[in-house]
Amino acid sequence: MTGTLIKTAVVIGGGIFGISTAAHLARMGVAVTVLNDGPLANGASGRSLAWLNSARRRSLPYHALRLAGIARYRLLADQHPAADWLRFDGALTWDAEDASNEIAEVYRYERDLGYPAELLTGPQVAARVAGVDGAAVTSAGAIFNGNEGWVDLPSLIHLLAAEITAAGGVILTDAGRATPLLRAGRACGAVCADGREVLGDAVLIATGPAVPAMAAAQGVAIGDDTPIALLVETEPSDHPLRAVLNTPRIAVRPTPNGAFYLDSGWSEEEVIRHGDGSYEAPASTVQGLIDEAIKVLDPKPALKVKAVHLGPKPIPGGGEPVFGELQALPGCFVAFSHSGATLGLIVGEALAEEMALGHRHPLLATFRPERFKS
C-alpha cells in the first residue's frame, strides 16, 4: 500500500497485538522495529486460552469487532489449510444448575443477532460433539457455536514475526522494558532499558497488562481490572475432543499436540500473590482444574499436568478494549484488551491503518483511550 504518512514505526511488545500490528505495517511498506522484554509471546499471549468467539452478550460494537476478528482468522485458515495451530471445530458452553443459568436467554440473544447457535440437550451433545460427557450438561442444555474455534498464539506470532523480518523489519527480543521516547510533546520512538534509542514516526504500546501503567506515566488514565490468571497445560493424550468447552467449572481447549489448556474463574481467585510480586497456584487448585476437566470429558482421560502458567491477564476497566492514539501524546498508540486472540488480526490491521494513514478506524470508535477521562 502506498501513500502512508509515516516511514518508520516502533512497536513495544511482542505479543499478538504488537506483532500483528507490526506485520500489517510492514505490508504497507513501513519500516518497523519491535522491542520486547523477553522472547516473543512471553506474556499474556503465551498463556491464553485463545478461544476465537463472540459468544454470549456484549455491546454491539464489541460484537461487530469480534465478528470481524473471526472473519480474518477464517481467511488465514484458507491460506494455511494444513495448519494444526488454527482450528474451527466449534465451541460448546453451558451454565450451572442454579438461578444464574442464562442459557435460554443467551441462545435467543445470539440467534436474534444472526450468530450461529444451536441449543442441545445432554444426549444431543453426546451424539454431536466428540469427547464431551453429555451427562455433565445441565438441564437448560448447552449452546453449540459452530463458527468458533481456537488458535495457538505463539505459533501465529512466530509466523507473523517471520513475515516482518522478511520484509526488512527488526525484532529485538530480550531488550528489557522499553518506554516511549518523547520530543516536543510527541512520541518519536522508544528508549530501551540499556538507554538505546530507537526512532520511529509512530509508536505502539502493546505490552498487555503493563499498558495502563505505561499510559499513566504519560499522564493518561486507562481503567484496569487485570487479574492474575492461571492456565494449566496437560500432557498430550489421545482424546477425541476438538471443540472448545466453556462450562461452569472449567474451560477446556485442545492444542496442536493433543494436550489440553484448562482455566476457570474460580481458580484465578485461589492464586496466591506473594509480597515480592511472584505468584503461586496451590497444588489443590491445579488438581481441581484437572478433576473438573475429567468430569466433562468422555472418555475419561488420565490427565497429567505438564506446566502451570501464571501471570496477569489484561482486562480493561469495564471489560471492553482500549485501542488508538493517546490524545495527550500524539504519535503514541495503545492496544489493551482481554480478547487478544479473537481481535489480534483485525486490530493489528486497523491500528496499522491508523498509525500509517492517519485514518481513525470506525471499528475502533467506541474503544478509544479518552473514554476514561471522566
Q: pLDDT tens digits, residue range 172-182? A: 999 999 999 99
Cα–Cα dist 103/119, whole Å: 8
Q: Which whole number is the average pLDDT over 52-67?
A: 98
pLDDT at 1 over 50: no
Helices (H) and strands (E) in the chain, counts: 9, 22
Please state, rounded to an integer, the average pLDDT across all residues of the chain. Answer: 97
**Whether the predicted pLDDT of 326 surpasses 70:** yes
Contacting residues for 141 by C-beta, under 8 A, at least 6 apart: 94, 103, 104, 119, 120, 121, 122, 124
pLDDT for 233-283, tens place per residue? 999 999 999 999 999 999 999 999 999 999 999 999 999 999 998 999 999
CA distances from 20 to 153, 206, 290 (A): 11, 10, 33
Crossing angle for the helix pair 60-79 and 340-357, nearest 10 degrees?
90
Q: In the prediction, which pLDDT does 373 show?
A: 85
Lay out the sheet containing 91-93: strands in order across.
118-120, 142-145, 91-93, 244-246, 251-254, 260-263, 228-234, 305-312
pLDDT for position 158: 98
H helical segments located in 80-228: 103-112, 122-128, 153-166, 211-216
| Domains of the chain, CATH where assigned | 8-46+153-222+317-372 (3.50.50.60), 87-148+225-312 (3.30.9.10)
| pLDDT digits 0-9 by tens, 153-163 | 999 999 999 99
The pTM of the full predicted model, rounded to 2 decimals, is: 0.97
Average pLDDT over residues 330-351: 98
Which ranges in the chain belong to alpha helices (H)? 16-27, 60-79, 103-112, 122-128, 153-166, 211-216, 265-269, 283-296, 340-357
- The three cell numbers of residue 336 are 489493551
Triad 333, 338, 340: Cα angle to 5° = 70
pLDDT at 4: 87
Please give the backbone phi and psi of residue 202, each rounded to the nearest 5 degrees, phi first. -150, 155
Cα distance between residue 105 and residue 84, in whole Å: 34
Strands (DSSP E) along 124-200, which ranges? 142-145, 149-151, 170-172, 179-183, 186-191, 197-199
Q: What DSSP line would sit under 286-335, residue for residue?
A: HHHHHHHHHHHBSS-----EEEEEEEE---BTTSS-EEEE-TTSTTEEEE
Percent of residues in the chain assigned helix, strand, coil, to nearest 5:
35, 25, 40
Cell of 306: 505438564
Dihedral sign of CA atoms 319, 323, 328, 332 in order: positive
